[in-house]
Structure 1
Amino acid sequence: MRIAVIGGGSSYTPELIKGLLDISSDVEIDEVIFYDINEEKQKIVVDFVKRLVKDRFKVLISDSFESAVVDAKYVIFQFRPGGLKGREKDESIPLKYGLIGQETTGVGGFSAALRAFPVVEEYIEIVRKVSSATIINFTNPSGHITEFVRNYLSYEKFIGLCNVPINFIREIAEMFSVNLNDVFLKYYGLNHLSFIEKVYVRGKDVTEKVFENLKLRLSNIPAEDFPTWFYDSVRLLVNPYLRYYLMEKKMFKKITSHELRSREVMKIEEQLLEKYKTAAEIPEELSKRGGSMYSTAAAHLIRDLEKDEGRIHIVNTKNNGSITNLPDDYVLEVPSYVRSGRVHTLSQGEGDLFALSFVHALKMYERLTIEAYLRRSKKLALKALLSHPLGPDVEDAKDLLEEILEVNSEFVKLE
């Protein structure tokens, strides 16, 4: 089996390889091939990867996307169009307009999506011609890109993945001293905008115990966390990214009082790349990079797609009846049954109206942004920005859009 990793120069790559090494005793991996437009960075990372892998499977570098994905059974997208400099602009530009600067939500996610769409569109067309690979996507904004590929490019074997769901499951498993596979969540929403309505451990509903445990832990509430009355009223566990929507003023203040996360990550990445040049083991600094359990989510999904044992994973895919009061074609982040090399969403009944109010609003924003890209339309782009709960008001929208388009002109042009 050949696995292609697109964005091989990412400082996350060694963690991904650790995950693939972990499953290599369960599934046969013949070779992992890397492709990245930053050849210098990729060489440092892949040389380190070779020391980690030793002779467990072949580690190769491709000089083109097409040659990387030919004959690949799985393709992992983990590239960042525009690099960390692009992320820095995504975070800094909104702040000038009094808006939250964050790489996947609001204005930051909007500009990141516009940069990603043309690259993803090109890559999907190449995969369609030369391969029948299943694509696992981590490129942000992951859910928005999955909506683009599944509903607009019609490539069905495309699965969006995030580390947030598996970290939720791990936390619950630790709380009840059980294995990850013993936990099932009634989980739904969008990537970075998800909700947990019910928690089951070994088939038993333990939701109330989880809420009681949460109250105990919140006795000393950090500034950015939700108070106990919120959980008493809403009765949903929420994705940490909901802080940006429900604590907008507080989160804006926090962001503006600290160094931009992109600049912190640039420093961490510089340190990691230096260590990768000589390291024999994964450096401790990688834990500061973020994305914990990312490799586990990707590797375990590949393992279970191959072994066909009917495991459940929370992924970004079409709703297809998982939440009955949402349209079937919405790409959602939901539990899915892995069988016959595919993911099949599990029926969870109706979703909570509080949660669905966010899902509908953000889904319309996602689709307006995609339409703006496909039609190269500034008017639709303005509608998308104005529709987003974290977007600009009418006075700033046009100036903000022009600035975003100017700094991202290498990737996209709208008229």
Structure 2
Amino acid sequence: MKLTILGGGGFRVPLVYGALLKDRAEGRVTRVVLHDVDAGRLRAIARVLAEQASGVPDAPEVAFTTDLDEALRGAAFVFSAIRVGGLEGRADDERVALAEGVLGQETVGAGGIAYGLRTVPVAVDIARRVARLAPDAWVINFTNPAGLVTEAMSRHLGDRVIGICDSPVGLGRRIARALGARPREAWIDYVGLNHLGWVRGLRIAGRDELPRLLADPVLLGSFEEGRLFGADWLRSLGAIPNEYLHYYYFNREAVRAYQEAERTRGAFLRDQQARFYAGVADPGVPALELWNRTRAEREATYMAENREAAGAGEREAEDLSGGYEDVALALMRAIARDERATLILNVRNRGTLAPLDADAVIEVPCLVDASGAHPVSVDPLPGHATGLVCAVKAVEREVLAAARSGSRATAVKAFALHPLVDSVNVARRLVDGYTAVHPGLAYLG
């Protein structure tokens, strides 16, 4: 079975390949094709994968190409993890936004809109090519902003594109650990949009244990979200928010922390990965060892500014292991082998959340089998959460409309309507600033 990885020169690709190496069951992936626009990065990651596969019998064969059509032909699954504009683009997204006093994070606020505006046209082109060259393939989207990009691709691929994210998985795992339960035995009642969701319940043997957690300040202080949001606020919400909601609930503090940081997250990753790829280009450097060291530093510094602003301390060792690769593998297994699984995924709404239309992509528990991912019915969100979800979904729709029409006015509207952008004039300056630094936004007229 052939798996194509778009963004195959990306730093996190070895996580996916590592998960594939552990899969020994019948019907597993036997061939991996890496595609990227940067041949040098492809060669670097291929070196890491070769060292990973050393000594592993029947390791999936790895090939790489810069020809997108060649990569897609014959694929059973297409894993999309592209970064349009690279990490330099992410650093620019953060810099332009922070200069206006608003958030520049890559999936939230102004930065997420800028990233979406230059990514959606590329993702739509990929979706059209998949429909033409590999019509039976399933697309697993990890490209950020994941919900927005999945919705853009779904307009051409329908339910054959499914978005994944490791944030809900990590949150559920941390809550279960805090309650002394095994994560695999817990049912997580989670719903929202990508990077905008809440855990409203966690059932173990049919009993909701979340009230016990919310009532115990010691337990709440034992995991990252408890420290990040604070026990009082979590009890007020009656839920545990996805970590990315810290940007909404504590926006002033988050923006200030990012403004005061020595470097933004994007600039840190840009510089760190430049050192990594330069190092791997030396054939005398052990590629896998260098990758492991670089990844450990990357994971330890994840959302460091938010944790510092909240006084949440360092990340737990158990949270440094990623997780999206396991979601991707479980999703592929469930579809390819009809091994039924329950996973939190980004899929079309189909009436699951009443305020949103059927085609809106949401993040929700799904039952997965050979016919795809099927969202599970959920209780309505409370009013405050419904309002935020509807507001952000409306922004996503404006981004999609701007990408389709090339309208600058629609792009301004997308920025201006976002809850974390506080002025139409700021929105206009953001569009000016982003079009000045991103060639990929030249289509906005």
User: TM-score per shorter chain, which class?
Assistant: over 0.9
Equivalent in the alignment of 2:302: none
Counterpart selection for 1:263 from 247, 256, 267: 267
- Per mean C-alpha deviation after superposition, the further-off stretch among 178-187 and 372-381 is 178-187
CA distance in 2, matches of 1:374, 1:62: 29
1:12 correspondence with 2:12: yes
Question: Could you say which residue in structure 2 is the equivalent of 1:204?
Answer: 207
In the alignment, structure 1 residue 323 sits paired with structure 2 residue 327? no
Aligned 8 A contact 2:14 2:49 in 1? yes
Structure 1 gaps of 5+ residues are none
CA contact (8 A) 2:19 2:325 kept: yes
Note the alpha carbon deviations across 1:175-228, whole angstroms, 9 max, x for none. 344443311111111111111111112322111122234554439999982232
Aligned AA for 2:269?
A: V
Q: Given the alignment of the two structures, is residue 32 of structure 1 paired with residue 62 of structure 2, yes or no?
A: no
Give me the TM-score of the superposition, normalised by structure 1: 0.93
Measured after TM superposition, the shift of residue 239 of structure 1 is 0.8
Contact 1:371 1:380 in 2 (8 A): yes
CA distance in 2, matches of 1:57, 1:21: 7
- What amino acid does structure 2 have at the position aligned with 1:17? Y
Q: Does structure 1 residue 53 correspond to structure 2 residue 53? A: yes
Letter of the aligned partner of 2:443 in structure 1?
Answer: K
Structure 1 position 163 matched with structure 2 position 141? no
Checking the alignment, whether the CA contact within 8 Å between 2:140 and 2:161 is kept in structure 1 is yes
- After superposition, residues 68-83 of structure 1 pair within 5 angstroms as 68-83=71-86
SS in 1 for 2:8: coil
Question: What is the CA-CA distance between 1:23 and the residue it aligns to?
Answer: 2.3
Letter in 2 for 1:293: G
Relative to structure 1, the CA distance from residue 188 to residue 120 in structure 2 (aligned partners, 3 Å threshold; closer, same or farther) is same
Mapping of 1:169-180 within 5 angstroms? 169-180=172-183
2:335 is equivalent to residue 305 of structure 1? yes
Q: Assess if the C-alpha contact under 8 Å between 1:35 and 1:62 holds in 2.
A: yes
Q: Which of 145, 148, 151 is the equivalent residue of 1:147?
A: 151
Structure 2 stretches lacking a partner, 5+ long: 300-320
Give, in whole Å, the separation in 1 of the partners of 2:195 and 2:274. Answer: 27
Work out the CA distance in 1 between the residues paired with 2:345 and 2:222: 32
Give the aligned length.
414
- Give the drift of 1:287: 2.8
What secondary structure is seen at the aligned counterpart in 1 of 2:322?
coil
* Matches of 1:329 and 1:214, distance apart in 2: 40
Please list the CA deviations of residues 118-170 of structure 1 after superposition, one character each: whole Å capped at 9, or x if unmatched.
111111111111102111111111111112222x4353310111110110222
Tell me, yes or no, if structure 1 residue 251 matches structure 2 residue 259. Answer: no
The answer (yes or no) to whether the contact 1:321–1:345 under 8 Å persists in 2 is no
How far 1:79 sits from its partner (Å)? 1.1
Matched letter for residue 93 of structure 1: V
The 8 Å contact of residues 199 and 207 in structure 1, kept in 2 or not, is answered as yes
2:398 and 2:411 in contact (8 A); partners too: yes
Contact 1:146 1:159 in 2 (8 A): yes
**Segment of structure 1 superposing worse, 223-232 or 65-74:** 223-232
Amino acid at match of 2:45: V
User: Which aligned pairs between 1:278-293 and structure 2 lie closer than 5 A?
Assistant: 278-280=286-288, 283-290=292-299, 292-293=322-323
Q: d(CA) in 2 for partners of 1:300 and 1:251?
A: 34
CA shift at 1:255, angstroms? 0.5
Deviations 1:46-87 (A, max 9, x none): 122022124412111123111111110000011100000000
Match of 1:15, as an amino acid? Answer: L
Change (3 A) 1:9 1:345: same
Distance verdict in 2 for CA 1:232–1:404, change over 3 Å:
same
Alpha-carbon distance in structure 2 between the residues aligned to 1:340 and 1:213:
41
Structure 1 vs Structure 2: percent identity of aligned residues? 27
With over 3 angstroms needed to count, the CA separation of the structure-2 counterparts of 1:325 and 1:5, relative to structure 1, is same
Match of 2:362, SS?
strand
Partner of 1:378: 408
Name the amino acid aligned to 2:71: A
Q: Check conservation: 1:368, 1:384, Cα contact below 8 A.
A: yes
Q: Distance in 2 between matches of 1:220 and 1:192?
A: 18
| Residues in 2 aligned to 1:67 and 1:253: alpha-carbon distance in whole angstroms | 46
Q: Partner of 1:357 in structure 2?
A: 387
Q: CA deviation at 1:355?
A: 1.3
Q: How does 1:57-68 map to 2 (within 5 A)?
A: 57-68=60-71
Aligned to 1:85: 88
What's the counterpart of residue 110 of structure 1? Answer: 113
How far residue 280 of structure 1 moved from its aligned partner, in angstroms, is 4.6
Q: Is the 8 A contact 2:159 2:347 kept in 1?
A: no
Cα RMSD of the aligned pairs, angstroms, is: 2.2
Q: Give me the whole-angstrom Cα distance separating, in 1, the residues matched to 2:342 and 2:37.
A: 34
Change (3 A) 1:219 1:328: same
**3-state SS of 2:122 partner:** helix
| Structure 2 counterpart of 1:101 | 104
